Amino acid sequence: MSINNSEIARFRQQQALEEEAARLGLYGLASGTARHDFIIKRMEQGAERILRLLEAGKHEEARKLAESDTWCDLQGVPNE
């Protein structure tokens, strides 16, 4: 019977370690670091969109976009 308890204890310990690894992968200190390049790219695209609006003479639209909280988010921005 002690062999079965030991196997169950090992299984539970392994399961707990895997759950902790998954939690750290999602919410740990390194979470989101792989997305840094995506964030930079989105910000660059937003800045380019503002510049294109300015070059097209759409100063009011460019100002509104630049002053918005999500200026780098291109969703909801009207096409030129």
Clarify whether residues 46 and 80 are in a common domain: yes
Clarify whether residues 43 and 69 are in a common domain: yes
Clarify whether residues 22 and 1 are in a common domain: yes
What's residue 79's pLDDT? 42
Lowest mean pLDDT among 17-26, 42-51, 67-76: 67-76
Residue count of the chain, please give it. 80
Which own/partner pairs from 69-76 qualify as long-range (CB within 8 Å, at least 24 positions apart)?
71/46, 72/42, 72/43, 72/45, 72/46, 72/47, 73/42, 73/46, 74/42, 74/45, 74/46, 74/49
Q: What is the mean pLDDT of residues 5-31?
A: 82
Clarify whether residues 43 and 80 are in a common domain: yes
Higher-pLDDT residue of 26 and 1 is: 26
Clarify whether residues 27 and 40 are in a common domain: no
Q: What is the mean pLDDT of residues 58-67?
A: 88
What's residue 51's pLDDT? 92
Clarify whether residues 39 and 15 are in a common domain: no
Question: Which one, of 34, 46, 39, lies nearest residue 77 by Cα?
Answer: 46
| Host domain of residue 45 | 35-80
**Structural domain total, the chain:** 2
What's residue 71's pLDDT? 63
